Chains A and B, each alone.
Chain A
Amino acid sequence: MSENTNANKDYAVIGKSVPRIDGREKVTGAAKYTGDLSFPNMLYGKILTSPYAHARIISIDTVEAEKLPGVKAVITHKDVPTLKYGISPARWDENIFCIDKVRFVGDKVAAVACIDEKTCYEAMKLIKVEYEVLPAALDFLTAMDEGQPQVHDEYPNNINTEIHQEFGDVEQAFKDAHYVRTDRFLGQRTYHSPIEPHSAISMWQDGKLTIYSSTQSPHYFQHYIAREFDMKMGDVRVLKTYVGGGFGGKLEPTGLEFAGAVLARITGRPVKMFYDRHEMFAHNRGRHAQYMEITTGVDKDGKILGCHANFKMDGGAYTSLGIASAYYAGALLPLTYEFDNYKFDMFRVYTNLPACGAQRGHGAPQPKYAFECHLDEIAKDLGIDPIEIRIRNARRPNTVTPNEFGVNSCEIKSCLEMARDMSGWVEKKGKLPKGRGIGVATGSFVSGAGYPIYRTNLPHAAAMIKVAEDGTAATLYTGAVDIGQGSDTVLSQMAAEAMGFVYEQMKIVAADTETTPHDFGAYASRQTLMSGAAVKQAGEEIKAQLLDMAAVILQRDPSDLEVKAGVIYSRTDSSVTLSFADAAKEFFVRRGPLVGKGSYAPPKLGGKFKGAAVGTSPAYSFCAQISEVQIDEETGVIDVLDVWDVHDCGMVINPGLLHGQVHGALYMGLGESIWEQVLFDKNGKLVNGNLGEYRLPTALDMPRVHSGLIDSYEPAGPWGVKEVGEGSTNPTMGCFANAIYDAMGVRINSLPLTYEKVWKALKEKRELEQKQNK
């Protein structure tokens, strides 16, 4: 829809929709993903998992499996380190293989390495595991009750994480309020479902381990693999080729890396491990199901005075990144609207189900769904238009949230106004025929986490640029991870802009712990701002050196010179020019390699209370979304017709890629809103661990999308950038739920907003109306 309003600024490379740097490789099928790689003498490995949700392991007999021809190794907990691991250092609770008991259907028990895949499956059938089946805790809403089965003996009442935070005085705010309302909502388990299944290939040489992995963070993998095997980080190399989507699900090392490394060491051969689609669902680490009770007090104008969020989340059998998910769920809630009094209570509960973790929007989308529905209910009760109540409460720039997050740029009010105008809200609201409805919601997200996942003083991002000897090309070396979102392209644009060079001659080497400088990777929407800041610094270092050389060649003062798009010129004499390439070549001849480096660490952020770090960020994105839906009264079928998405995401480096992120976030939000949910039977077995029955939306399910941008500049980001990829997921569920309410007058208080729930709610409403009419 709208053009990028930053494009008129005087930039040569950024702000433009250049084609992806990896486009040609990807459309020709030449792009290699981890599963496409093979190495001489390579073996294949698989992990045997538990068929029971909760059971004691009595014995494991691998003798028959070992005898099968083609089997090269069979390993269990006896063959691997017993050190517990996990991506969250606060709660390491996972073993490479289960020792005493299994905790969910899919828990890791043993692994095999064989000459081919087929033999792996045959070998696994020959491993005899004797279990004593135990009662399982499958419902997170009751798992904390007395007498429930205990998932981990170390964590009584199945409490994995408990949070109680209060800022200001919520009780007083409720006393002062004109109106106080409580609503309750339930979210579902969803799974990232990247189209590329996880793969890892491990190999050893001279005591050093190399792992090719479909990973979002080579750094965290390297850190945790080195820790598990008591190795120096320098002896572990983790790298990726192309990654076929992650969305949070490839952020932590899995059994593929840990078991694969051991199998490769025992056999002395490279071992390729992979998950099939069902195993991906079982490994999970997707979105937590959350129960959300929200109470809010407002004045007579609908201004929020205080809010109490009282949540519970289904953690599954292990912590994964769930402590952060639990904190994020409450921490990000006060971002979009301004209020001073806020209370957040949360229990993350262990159950005998696959572990949940980080998924696009990390912790925030479901609470946002709950809050946006809740706010619409308040607006209805007070007779205020839904957009009006949001504008009245909209956060302003340069404010601080009650939980001490500093917000610099913030254009949420403009986002709401633009979405209202684009969608024709004023003409439509309250005037659409029955069955047709319009709804609104907002979102916000961090542009990178203020603190890394484990405690370290490493900078968050670093970059190097090397200009080719003849000056005609430059290579960016970055630890940032392109998982499809386009960071390789955006960072190459940034490098070229900072150097005064051209994008078309940029090359990139990324995400390899050996050849590229450190970066924490692709999560928390951090790379455009954080990795970008490091890249900008590296580019500027090149530029300074180049202009210094040019000044010698041209016999001018360096301050008189500027370089842009590959041409050095004088600021005062337009007849003086020199090509970037000539100056760079001369630099190499006289001074050696032309190299620039940069690094980025955010300033110290946040307050001092427990959990204060989670949700801190140098900058926050904001967005508003409006959707129009058509409901079939007979069947409850929801047809989302149009969605208007307006973003405040700072300076836009590549508008084409940015809109691609918005469309993709909307697509994921759409799926989670209406169809997607991971389901289990009464024994904790997955019943829909495949893409068809999980109900991933197809092209036919997508509404018309109109995305708009608000001109904004974020002082904390290089060139004023901030995030877009995750924040865009946040408004969708609430937005659709509000549109459904507008269409039919029924409030669906649980996700997904299925046709069946809408049909049932309509039926109940009809029956109630009939009863009242009698």
Chain B
Amino acid sequence: MNKDISLVVNGEARYINVPADKTLLDMIREDLNLKGTKKGCDAGDCGACTVLLDAEPVNSCLVLAVEAANKEVTTIEGLAKGGELHPIQAAFIKHGAVQCGFCTPGMVLAAKAILDKNPNPSVEEIKEGIAGNFCRCTGYKKIVDAVLASGRNIQG
């Protein structure tokens, strides 16, 4: 059974006819063709599919597409404006928080969710905030450094 839903994706209104059992992740990747949101496990473990749903970070593999109806979705493609990187993205590059990059889109959005609520988080608060996002390459240290630094940048 399909449903018609309307939602806002990265600031643009979208109208989509979507099967009721389709996940938000699959809708983002297949119907919206936004491939920056990654499928790492499809089970809510890895966090690579993290997007912001009405500013809250969610594993988009655990959310049905129809649950996003009338809501606002932010994916990694929605962060850079006019070719200008979001400060978190710039900090990830500067601090070497990127290796293979597969967790990066979800990690950047998880970081945005932390900083949107608290622009000056402690190291522990950052670790708590990204604990749902696995990174197999970096050991998280440079990711934490990047989030700390971008918090300061956004503030200053």
Contacts and interface: CB of A to CB of B under 8 A. Distances in A.
Contacts of A485: 99, 137
A692 B100 contact: no
Interface in B29-44: 29, 34-43
Interface string A691-714: 110001011101001000000000
Contacts of A622: none
Given A27-B93, A195-B134, A699 B35 contact: no
A668 B136 contact: yes
Nearest to B86: A27
Contact of A20 (B76, B93, B143): B93
A29 B75 contact: yes
Contact of B77 (A29, A663, A698): A29
B141 interface: yes
A663 B142 CA distance: 9
Contact of A692 (B29, B45, B136): B45
A332 B39 CA distance: 37
B151 interface: no
A230 interface: no
B139 A27 contact: no
Contacts of A197: 39-40
Interface in B89-143: 89-90, 92-94, 96, 98-105, 108, 126-128, 130-143
A242 interface: yes
Contact of B100 (A25, A194, A276, A700): A194
B79 interface: yes
Q: What band does the interface of chain A fall in when counting residues whose beta carbon is under 8 Å from B?
A: 35 or more
Interface stretch (A163-171, A243-251, A586-594, A633-641): A243-251
A525 interface: no
A233 B64 CA distance: 45
A25 B36 CA distance: 10
A128 interface: no
Given A700-B128, A700-B131, A17 B96 contact: yes
B80 interface: yes
B132 to A, nearest CB: 8
A656 B100 contact: no
A195 B139 contact: no
Contacts of B108: 27
B48 interface: yes
Interface stretch (A30-38, A54-62, A292-300, A744-752): A30-38
Contacts of A31: 101
A698 B134 contact: yes
A667 B39 contact: no
Interface in A1-58: 17, 19-20, 22-33, 35-36
A326 interface: no
B99 A242 contact: no
Contact of B137 (A19, A24, A664, A692): A664
A669 to B, nearest CB: 10
Interface in A445-476: none
Interface string A483-507: 1111000000000000000000000
A563 interface: no
A27 B34 CA distance: 14
A269 B59 CA distance: 33
Contacts, number: 169
B7 interface: no
A137 interface: no
Interface in B64-95: 75-77, 79-80, 85, 89-90, 92-94
Interface string A141-156: 0000000000000000
Given A690-B43, A691-B46, A699-B144, A194 B130 contact: no
A242 B142 contact: no
A403 B29 CA distance: 53
Given A27-B93, A699-B130, A245 B137 contact: yes
A27 B85 contact: yes
Nearest to B128: A700
Most buried by B among A23, A277, A700: A23
B38 A196 contact: yes
A663 B105 contact: no
A28 B101 CA distance: 10
A28 B80 contact: yes
A27 B89 contact: yes
A667 B103 CA distance: 15
A485 B75 CA distance: 25
A700 B126 CA distance: 9
B48 A195 contact: yes
A370 interface: no
Contacts of A483: 100
Given A28-B77, A36-B35, A195-B136, A690 B101 contact: no
B46 A484 contact: no
A578 B132 CA distance: 54
Given A244-B101, A244-B103, A245-B137, 5 more contacts: A23-B98, A194-B100, A660-B138, A665-B139, A691-B40
The 6 lowest CB-CB distance pairs between A and B, nearest first, are: A29-B36, A484-B100, A244-B102, A26-B101, A29-B76, A667-B139
6 contacts: A28-B80, A195-B102, A244-B103, A245-B99, A668-B136, A698-B134
Interface of B: 29, 34-43, 45-46, 48, 75-77, 79-80, 85, 89-90, 92-94, 96, 98-105, 108, 126-128, 130-144
